[in-house]
Structure 1
Amino acid sequence: MKKLLNVVRGLMLAITHIKVFPQDRFRGKRIAIVGPASSAFKTGNGAYIDGFDIVVRVNKSALTVDAGKHAADIGERTDVLFHCFLENMHSGGGKLDFDMYSRQGIQAVINPRYEWTGLRNSFNFYKKYLMPQRTYVLSRKLYKDIGRSLGQYRPTTGYSALCALLESDFSELYITGFTFFKTAYGDGYRDDMQQAQQARDFMISVGLHNPDKEYEEFKKRLARHAGKDVRMDAELRAIMSTQ
């Protein structure tokens, strides 16, 4: 009976507390998105990142920030967190810790996946914690647009975040820590994968994502938005310039 009651409570919380993220919150803003790849580390760019109007991170990056060991490189601020709402530490986004998010000043936690399995993950969060916490999804139209060109593959959380930002009306977008699994993860994210091939093998083994396809499609998306002020770290610039 208690289990059934929690299902009902969780469903009601999900219905009343999951909202579509308003893309206009990015309008006119200088935005930095910081991924977990090694290219964001050993850069000394922490203060530069924290100087943006909005700092966006993905999945377990909030845990890396909370550890405080790499603030000089990746900064200390997080305003928006894209999270897959799977709490597995190895293959998911880590624990959904809203007390930690509050300490960090995170204003919005977004599960980008506006489709059945993604919404189910958000529902499972409410069922588990019974917490009246506002969370977000991308609009159905935007999420379908992000995933359409990937065919049978599901967009990664990081790719979804990159595309959602690129489709917004920002004034400047700085991208760091994204290499489409062509480099290793940075320290403190998945420390059992310190080689680029390990990161690629892991992502491919999951079977849901295709980092090479995401790379090719993101290049096309960037080309369609060539008039926007998009800046990238040196490693990503080099990767995007290859044929």
Structure 2
Amino acid sequence: MLSFTKIFRSKSILKDKRIAIIGAANSAFDEENGNYIDDFDYVIRLNKAPYSLTENKSKFIGTKMDILIHSFYENNDSGGGVIDFNLYKKLGLRYLINPHNNFNGLKTHLNYFKRNFYTESTYLLSKKEYKNLIRGFGKKIPTVGYIGLYIALNSGAKEVFITGFTFFRTPYAQDYRDHLIDMKANQKHIYKQGLHDPELELKKFIQQIKKVKADRKIIMDKALQNILKKEL
């Protein structure tokens, strides 16, 4: 673990770059943005996303994957799915990030190394960045999706494109978590877990958007734009 774990320094890696971040909501399939997404300097995806990058979906969400933010829980129901570097290499992955630099995050990271024999580098956020992003969450834990948005918006990137994020106001896209594609089932799942607060995350996201400097370009899909119009 000590040999193959590094710190992901977003402000040095992503500064002044063009970034696309694709979430798991069905809104990512409202428009054919595949070529547009693949043209960005860095494309960020989440958890089980690599298993959804099939040929028939590429015209909507592209095929590029430079950064994968993964919970390091390898179960399929509520975790990030199996970590498969053989697949990731084919997709051009550069950084696999465990976003939780706390006790539980480090524990899941250690358990990953107990289960696997990969010798590829894995990444954690710095303690300082993690402390900043969880400020105001109290006992709730930010989702992998929110953390991805936080990283993108606070990296100093000159342009960020956001799609597939609706803060659980629309269903998951197909082939991501099909057993939770029903909205009521997903809401029950979130309540049962008791870990996340989508409404708090939306509020925090709006705060982050307002903080982005004027010289930084933020582009959002129509579904997210409509959500923000109702909130602002």
TM-score by length of 1: 0.91
Distance in structure 1 (CA, Å) of the matches to 2:70 and 2:126: 15
Q: What does 1:167-186 correspond to in 2, within 5 Å?
A: 167-186=154-173
Q: What does 1:69-84 correspond to in 2, within 5 Å?
A: 69-84=56-71
CA-to-aligned-CA distance 1:87-126 (integer Å, 9 cap, x gap): 0101000000000000111111000111111011111111
From 32, 36, 45, the equivalent of 1:44 is 32
The aligned residue for residue 114 of structure 1 is 101
Alignment length (residue pairs): 229
Distance in structure 2 (CA, Å) of the matches to 1:166 and 1:77: 20
Distance in structure 2 (CA, Å) of the matches to 1:189 and 1:68: 15
Q: Provide structure 2 residue ranges, at least 5 long, that are not aligned to the other structure.
A: none
Conserved 8 A contact 1:182-1:200? no
CA-to-aligned-CA distance 1:130-162 (integer Å, 9 cap, x gap): 322200011111111111111110111111111
Q: Which amino acid aligns with 1:141?
A: K
From 78, 92, 96, the equivalent of 2:83 is 96
Q: Which amino acid aligns with 2:183?
A: A
1:220 aligns with 2:207: yes
Conserved 8 A contact 1:89-1:95? yes
- Percent identical among aligned pairs is 37
Distance in structure 2 (CA, Å) of the matches to 1:235 and 1:78: 23
Larger Rg: 1
From 196, 205, 213, the equivalent of 1:209 is 196
42-51 or 179-188, which deviates more: 42-51
Let me know the Cα RMSD of the aligned residues.
Answer: 1.2
The aligned residue for residue 29 of structure 1 is 17
Shift of 1:226: 5.0
204-213 or 91-100, which deviates more: 204-213
